[in-house]
Structure formats: structure tokens, C-alpha cells
Structure 1
Amino acid sequence: MGRSRFLRRLTAAERRVWEAYPTGEPVDLRAGDRESDDPAGGDAWGPERTVRAEVLVALLLGAREREPGRAPGLRLSGAKIVGSLDLSGAQLDAKVHLLNCYLPGTVDISDSSTRSIRLRSCHVHRLRAARCRVEGLLDLDGTTVHRGVRLDNAHVVGQLRMSHTRLHPRRGESAPETRMVDAFAPYSAQEIADRGVEHDEWALWAGGLTVDGGAFLRRMHATAGVRLPGARFLGGLNMRGAVVEASRTPAVYGDNLEATHVEFSAGFTARGTVRLRGARVSGVLSFDLARLSDDVRSLHLSHMQVDELILTPESIEGEVNLSYSRVGVLLDRPGLYPDGVHLNGLVYESLRGGWKVAERIEWVSRDPGGYRPQPYEQLAAWYRRIGHEPDARRVLLARQRARRRTLRLPGRVWGRLLDGVVGYGYRPWLAAVWAAVLLATGTVVFTVLPPTQIDPDEARRFDAFVYTLDLLVPVTVFEQRGAWEPVGWTRWLANVLIVSGWILATALIAGATRVLRPSSNS
């Protein structure tokens, strides 16, 4: 009796859906005109295109018996579905395919288990799918969601498709805009999600999401952040050409994300930080031809592990943080980092991008936090590994010069002396140059103004070259110092030669120690 009353209340459009459901036949309520079929104007659609959400819920929950040998399914196009499509906690056997539909209420599949769900080119008030399991495809291609999508801890066994989707956050719907603090703007040490920002502030709230197939968010447009901490994309994450405009949150928040590959490329645009702290990417993470901007930090990629990082955006504004990450291959280009780059703790196997040594040295010196020894040592180790020992020495010399600027005055003076004499041990040939200059000077002077013999009874022949050399050697070898006494102003020259000999010897020993133990000054 109750079912009969329910059937009598069905409109013509609803009856068509009711009759088609057991066989999965499509029901098309579109007028055939592109403008009038645009779901953006679905509020004006009349009763001939209106279907109550409760009718669809009843069908999906088993109000109609199956037909033997046929697979039931909801395939509906061009409908205005009034009310909330509440399927939370349900076990659904039928596929759901809505095309060009207008849904002014909430679609809720939270905690449900279902087969493929396709909401293509629709206008949806809100989608709630937390903790759901989709045994197939979750397709939102071309759909506009006005009050946010929740996919936290959901599991999509097939693919997630959100290409050309437009997402807006829930904020402003009913709850006041709480937690709107200026401190969120820079996304500094304690980033947004750690400070309790609720899902109302995000266009896509999908922490803990698992997608076994590929996740395709190509050319998606979100007017608030995309939240993906702990998400797992076993078939990769593709956001080529997507646009994410965030004002209160990071544009992409993907701490501890796992993926086989990630594409933020081909025109991907982020207004706000892209944060992937602690992410694990077993393939390529690409920012090729992306447009990245933030007032403070455009990329936060610290503590990450990735096989290959392609960092060749079209434009970038804001700092880049690569601290404590492990990268197999890093492909970037000179002049990429306009506002500084954090490299302390970064380890890489290979560098690509056509950089000159001087450009790489400038790269490791641009840490906004000041001098850090590890980036220099890592760069020098890479040059050594590829057989460029002279380039490695240039990097380590630059490290000593950068460190010198952090010392007190005595240390800076001694450092300049070491640098000028032997290049901190990385240019030992400088000591030979200084020795040759001093030796030549002494030889000429003492040839013109020879010293007097201290013991005139001893038979000796004076040699200006040997005498000068004996003065330069810290420990007398040729026994010339004690045999001859400089005269006049040449006494000062002799003392300068003796002191210079000690300085050269000390600098050579100190420099050799630095070369043999390059991390001792870290």
C-alpha cells in the first residue's frame, strides 16, 4: 500500500527514471539546446525536468527489484534533482551516472561502499564522500561544486577524475568565518593544517585519500586550497594545467603524500604555497612550465624523497625550501630562485640544468638563514663524484670564504691570511708564487748589498740565492744565517723573509689539514 502511494506521487520525469532503473537504461531530460541545458541555469528548469532526490535514494537502496540478467543503474541526464541525495553509510550495487544535472542540495556518500560514481558536467551544492569506498571510477569531470568536496580517508579503487572541475570552499555558507588570522598568510613554521583550520576553508579536503588508479585533476580550477596530507596516489597525481587560488591556506597542502609520480606542470598555477613536506614520490615530481607565487614561500618541499625533481617553472615568486630532502635527479635552471632557497640538509645524486660552477656556488649561498656548510659540501661531493676535482675545490674555497664572514675579527684576519697565501689549502700553488717572489727579491737585494761575514777567519763563499732560501726555510738547512750578518736596511728584509717563511709554512700546514678534513670547520 505504501509503495502504491509512492508510485502514484511520481511525476512524469520521475516515472521515466523509475522504469529505466532496473535495466540501467539512460533517461535524458535535456531540451537539446546548449544554452538551456547548461546546469548553471538549472534553478529555472521546470517540473518536466525535476526529480526528487528521495526517489533516486529509494531506487539505489533497493525500492525496485532487479530484472534477471540485467544490471540496474541510474543514468540520468539534464535533470534538476531537488533535495539532498543522502546515501551515507549505504551499500550500493548499482552504478550512478549523472550528466548535466543540477543538484542544489548536498550529495552525501560518506561511509558508503559503492561502484562507480559519475557526476559529469553537473552543478552540485556540496559533495561529501568521507571514508567512502568506490569500487571503480569516481568521476567529477567538468562539474562545479559550490561548497567544497570532502574525500578524507576515502578509497577509490579505480580512477579519480576531476579534470576541468571547478571547486569552491564551503566558507560563508552558514558558519561565521572563524580562524581568519593574519598569521596564516605567510604559512610559516606552524603551517595551516597544524593550527586547526577547518574544512570550510578548503575547496578539496582529502587527507588520507587513497586512489589505486590514476588521479586526474587536469585543468581543475579551485578558488581555495587543496588539502591532501597523507594521501596515497598509487597510479600518480596529475594536475597539469590546474589553477589553485588560495588566500587563507596553502594552495596545495600535501604533507607525507605518497605517489608514483606527480605533475604540477604545463601551466599549473598556484597562488599560495605548494607544500609537500615529507612527501614520497617514487618517480617524477614535475613543476615544468608551472606558475608559482606566494608572498613568502612558493614551494615547501623539505624532508621529501623523490626520484626526480623537475623544477623548471615558467615563473616563480617566493622562497623555495628543499631542506633535508633526498632527490635522485634535480633538474633546475640558473636564476630560478628569485627570493632565496633553503638547501641545508638537501642530498642529491645528480644535478642537471646547464649551470656553471659560479652559478652553483651562488645557488648554495642564497639560504635566507645565512651560512650553512652542508650545501657547499654536498655540491663539492657531487663535483668530485663526476670527476671535476678543480670545481670541487672552488666550491670548498667558497665555503671557507662564506664561513669567514661569520667569524669575529681575529678569525676573519687569520682567514684572509690563509686565503691570500694558500687559498685555505685549496690553492697551494699560491704559496709557491709567494715563495718565488720573496726568493727573487732577496736574491737581487743581497747580490747588490751582500751581508758581512760574522767570522772572517772562516773560509766561505757568499751565495745570495742560497742565503735567501735559508732565511725563508723555518729551520736552517744551509747554515747561512749564522755565517752572514745583513747590513743597513737589509736587516729588515732578512727579518721579513724569516717571518714570511714561518707564515707560509704554517698556512700550508693549516691548508693541508683543511683539505684532508674539510668538515672540521663546519
Structure 2
Amino acid sequence: MRLTRPFRRLGPAERRIWDAYPTGAWVDLRTGDKDTDDPVNGPAWGPDRTVRAEVIAALLLGAREPEPGRTAGLRLAGARVTGELNLSDAVLTGKLHLLNCHLSEVVSLTDATTSGVRFRGCEMERIRAARCTVNGLLELDGSTVRNGVRLDNAHVTGQFRLSRARLHAPGERFRASESWLEDARRPFTAAEMKERGLGQDQWAVWAGGLTVDGGAFLRDLRVTGGLRLIGAKFHGGIYLQRSVITATGSHAVQADFMEAGAVEFSAGFTAKGTIRMRSARVNGVLSFSEATLEAPGRTLHLSHAQVEELIWLPTSVKGGVNLGYSRIGVLFDGPASYPDEVRLNGLTYEALRGRWTVAERLSWVCRDSDGYRPQPYEQLAAWFRRIGHEPDARRVLLAKQRRRRGTLRPTGRFWGRLLDLVVGYGYRPWLAGLWVVVLLAAGTAVFAAVPPAQIDPDEVRSFQPFVYTLDLLVPVSVFEQRGAWEPVDWTQWLAWTLVASGWILATALIAGAARVLRPSAGS
């Protein structure tokens, strides 16, 4: 049977793919010379390696039927594809697999449904695939996309692969590579946004709402621009080991409300720009092990998030870290992992891992640029108590009270210092005992040397300096020595000091005990 085609003339390369499509056979136009076959040199390839995009589209849209017993598909290597490959709104049953090809214009899969799309090692202009459904693998391994990838609200039922790819945001040509930090420090006006091609164009991958049922493998990726993954769902996890992202705006990754089985920014991952994951949910490990992070303001914004395990062991961090109001199951970190500014207010965790001293943890919880916050101290103390380290918990709560003291008025600060000196805010009650011993020893020695005078000479009494001193220290006279003897000369001042000290010690002990026994260990 003779098949008709909607083209008057096909080039030699086009004729080969036309004939091969019904069986899904490969058409390889490469010469075997590595330099010549590099897709970067695609514009110089002649007619024998040139294929019009409309011919590819016609085949995928049903211009030829599959051969009985075979699976149709377009598998093409080493071709120069001219024109826009427009497959928008289409339902494609044949797979599309391009290897080492050069595509000079946009590939559009907007609202399309496909059975698998692979661009491996290709040189491409731009990909538009908003709301696309890929029933299988979506692959861009080793490819270069010069003006960004759009995948907002797309759905990939298989894997999403971008390993070793090179992606550029449409607006990145307006940025000097050495000035990205200075540019990111200030907001742009509307005119500057338009002039510089920013706004939406600062993103190399625009994929808000993307759903990937399998794993998303973006290892060794090189990005000039940012990854916008707001609301994306990666059920099999997303993996960016050894990838390098250089932001052209303020954010290297914006992934608010993202859901993932695991997230790997590790093993040499580098980001110049903020990684923002506000309200994200990670059901497995979120790892920054051996990562290098740099941003002019905040390098990591992970507030209001839920993470089963956070491994925060970057090699280098330049910029603040915000973990406020997040819920983390296991936090594995190190003393050198954090910058000078860390926001921890509202952070809760089930377990801490890492080699920390208590002093280093105390330094960690007091780095909030907004000043004193009680919750980080209470959370840390609660964890120490949960693992049975009560002395460390008391040390943390004592540090909390000392930090809080700086926020009080002068009278409050004075009373706080007195409580700290006498009983350590109730967390060091042994201090009160030490003061009692010192005062008892001093009073006993003085009153033994300069005994007080008996008030009623007719009453027969034997003076005991130790008992007399103890009776002065106790707020309510127990041994009836205070009313029987009266200090003489300068020892009156000592007696008054002992009485006042007794009241202060008793008041401090009561206040400290109330503070310790309060359920919230509050202020």
C-alpha cells in the first residue's frame, strides 16, 4: 500500500525518519567525529543532517501508522532540527527520543499527553511543557537549554532526569556573572525588571505545581538562573548531588510548599542565592551534607516546614539560616555548620545528632538577630531532659534567664542578678546552702569573740554563738535566742545583716523553686 505524506518533498534525513517511524527504529546521522558531532556545531550541519520540526510533529501526530506488531516511535541522533517543534494539546502515543541533536527553536508540549520524551545530550533553545502529562520518562540528561524550561503543573508518571544538563534562564544574559551578589541585594523597579528580563525570566526551570511520581534526578546539573518549584511534588525524591546553581535573581531554589520523599542538596552541591523551602514537607531526608551555600542575605529559608530528618553539615555557609516554626524529627548538624545569624524561634525537634558541647548548643540558640527568644532554650532543655541529662537542662534554662535579664527594666535586672547570685534562679539551689555556711561561720566566729548582752539578767541562760547566729538567719525565730540576747557595739550591723540575708535567702529559694516547678519552665 502506498502511503501519502503531507509534504511535497522530504530531505534525505527526513526520508529516513519517515521510513523508520512505523517500527521505532533508530536513525543515526552522526559522522563519528566527536568535534563535528557536537550539537553546539549544529548550525553548520548540512542538508543531509537537517530535519524540519514540522516533519517530526506530523509523524508524532499520526501521519504514519505503526507497523503491525511493532511500536512506533521517533528515535533520532545527530540531527539539526529547524523550526518550532509544536506538539501543544496533542495526544502522542509514539515515544520521542532525540540524541545529540540541535534544536534551534522552541519545543512546545503545552497541555500535551505523551508516552515518553527524551532529549539526551541535545542543544536546545527552550522547552514549554506547562500542564503536560508524560506517561513515562521525561529526560534532558546532558542537554543544554539556553532559555529555560517550563513545567508548571506538569505531571510525570515515571522519572524526571536532568543529570549533567546545563540550563540558562531567559534573563541571565542581562546579568554579569561577577555582580550577581550586588544585584540581589536590592529590589528592581518594574522598568529594570523588564529591561533585564527578570521576573519570570530569572528562572531556568519554572515548575510550580509539577508532580513527579518517580525520582527526579538532577545530579551534576549546571544552572544559571533559579529553580522555581513552588508546590511541586516529588514522590520519589529529588536529587541534586554535585549540582551548581548560580542565581540571576535573589533565589537559587524557591520551593515553598514542596512535597518530596527525599531532597539531596549534598555531595558538592553549590548554590549562589537563597534556597527557600517555606512550608515544605520532606517525608525522608533533607540533606545539605558537603554543600556550599552563599547568599547576600539569607542562604536557607526553611521556616514552617516538616522534615523527617535534616542533615545540616554544609562545607561552607555565607548568609543567614531560618529554621523558625519548623518541625524536624532528627536534626543532624555540627557546631561549624551555622553562620552568625540563625533563627530558631518556634523550631521543634525530636532528636539532635552531632558532636556538640552544651556551651556550643547555648551559642547556637542565641544567634537570633531579633534578640532574646525563650522558646529555643525551652526546646533544647526539653530535649536534654528527655534523654536524661537533667543537669544540662538546668544549665540551658539558667542561660535562658540570664539572657532574659537583659530585656528587663533596671529593677527587674537587679532582682534577677540577686536571684542568680543567691540560688542561680532556682537551678543552683546549692548556692543558698553555700551562703548559709559562710554566714553561719562568720557569725559564729564574731559572736564567740564579742558575745551579745543578755536582755534579762535574772534569767539563767547559756550563750551558744552558733545557735544564736542560726536563729538570726532563720526568718522566724525557732530557738528563742534572738529575744534573749542583744548584740553590742558594731556587731549590731552583723546581726541586722544576718536577719536581712535570711529573708533574702528564703525569698530567693521560694522564687527559684516556683520557677523550677512551673510546668513550662517559663520566665
TM-score band w.r.t. shorter chain: over 0.9
Match of 1:82 in 2: 82
Which letter does structure 1 place at the counterpart of 2:205? L
Match of 2:28 in 1: 28
Q: Could you give the per-residue CA deviations for residues 41-100 of structure 1, whole angstroms, max 9, x where no partner exists?
A: 111111111010011111111111222111110000000000000000000000000000
- Structure 1: segments with no counterpart, 5+ residues: 175-179, 188-195
1:13 aligns with 2:9: no
> 8 Å contact 2:397–2:521 — kept in the other structure?
no
Whole-angstrom distance in 1 between the partners of 2:186 and 2:428: 44
Whole-angstrom distance in 2 between the partners of 1:520 and 1:214: 45
Whole-angstrom distance in 2 between the partners of 1:212 and 1:38: 33
Shift of 1:358: 0.8
1:281 aligns with 2:286: no
1:324-403 matched pairs, under 5 angstroms:
324-403=325-404
Whole-angstrom distance in 2 between the partners of 1:500 and 1:183: 63
Shift of 1:326: 0.5
For 1:414, what is the secondary structure of its paired residue?
Answer: helix
Q: Taking structure 1 as reference, are residues 292 and 278 closer, same or farther at Cα in structure 2, changes over 3 Å only? A: same
Which letter does structure 1 place at the counterpart of 2:461? R
Whole-angstrom distance in 2 between the partners of 1:445 and 1:303: 63
Shift of 1:519: 3.6
> 8 Å contact 2:52–2:81 — kept in the other structure?
yes
For 1:418, what is the secondary structure of its paired residue?
Answer: helix
Match of 1:132 in 2: 132
Match of 2:503 in 1: 502
1:219-234 matched pairs, under 5 angstroms:
219-234=220-235
For 1:250, what is the secondary structure of its paired residue?
Answer: strand
Q: Could you give the per-residue CA deviations for residues 14-47 of structure 1, whole angstroms, max 9, x where no partner exists?
A: 1011111111111011111000000011111111
1:154 aligns with 2:139: no
Whole-angstrom distance in 2 between the partners of 1:301 and 1:198: 22
Which letter does structure 2 place at the counterpart of 1:460? R
Match of 1:440 in 2: 441
1:250-265 matched pairs, under 5 angstroms:
250-265=251-266
1:39-118 matched pairs, under 5 angstroms:
39-118=39-118
Shift of 1:182: 8.3
For 1:469, what is the secondary structure of its paired residue?
Answer: helix
> 8 Å contact 1:208–1:231 — kept in the other structure?
yes
Q: Taking structure 1 as reference, are residues 221 and 40 closer, same or farther at Cα in structure 2, changes over 3 Å only? A: same
Q: Taking structure 1 as reference, are residues 172 and 250 closer, same or farther at Cα in structure 2, changes over 3 Å only? A: closer
Shift of 1:7: 4.4
1:409 aligns with 2:415: no
Shift of 1:6: 4.2
Q: Could you give the per-residue CA deviations for residues 279-321 of structure 1, whole angstroms, max 9, x where no partner exists?
A: 1111100000000111111111111111100000111111111
Whole-angstrom distance in 1 between the partners of 2:172 and 2:441: 84
Shift of 1:247: 3.0
Q: Percent identity?
A: 65
Count, aligned residues: 508
1:458-477 matched pairs, under 5 angstroms:
458-477=459-478
Shift of 1:354: 1.0
> 8 Å contact 2:212–2:233 — kept in the other structure?
yes
For 2:441, what is the secondary structure of its paired residue?
Answer: helix
Q: TM-score, normalised by structure 2?
A: 0.95
> 8 Å contact 1:201–1:249 — kept in the other structure?
no
> 8 Å contact 1:185–1:248 — kept in the other structure?
no
Q: Could you give the per-residue CA deviations for residues 201-256 of structure 1, whole angstroms, max 9, x where no partner exists?
A: 10000000000000000011110010001000011100111111003131000001
Whole-angstrom distance in 1 between the partners of 2:406 and 2:29: 75
Whole-angstrom distance in 1 between the partners of 2:279 and 2:14: 50
Whole-angstrom distance in 1 between the partners of 2:4 and 2:183: 60
Which letter does structure 2 place at the counterpart of 1:146? R
Shift of 1:337: 1.4
Which letter does structure 1 place at the counterpart of 2:122? C
Q: TM-score, normalised by structure 1?
A: 0.95
Whole-angstrom distance in 2 between the partners of 1:415 and 1:12: 90
Which letter does structure 2 place at the counterpart of 1:63? A
Shift of 1:339: 2.4
